Amino acid sequence: MARGKLFEYAILYHPKPEKDAQGKEIQEKSKLLKEPTRVLAARTEDVGVLAAREIPDDYLDKIEDVEIVVRPF
């Protein structure tokens, strides 16, 4: 059995810019959907799969604006 390595991941949402009544672009700030979480896994790819399961249902229709960041230790 492979030894697990320590990773940390977080899930971010970067909303697309919207235009106001005057046509100016308004950029909302990014949101943290999932606090940084530590896991043991064999590979970075495995952490990505685990993190993808944690994306809130409200954001599944905006998946192209969701980012999963993974940091190995």
pTM recorded for the entire structure: 0.85
What are the tens digits of pLDDT across the range 3-54?
899 999 999 999 998 888 888 888 899 999 999 999 999 999 999 999 999 9
Q: How far apart are CA 36 and CA 38, in angstroms?
A: 7
Q: Name the domain count of the chain.
A: 1
Domain ranges, residue 40: 5-72
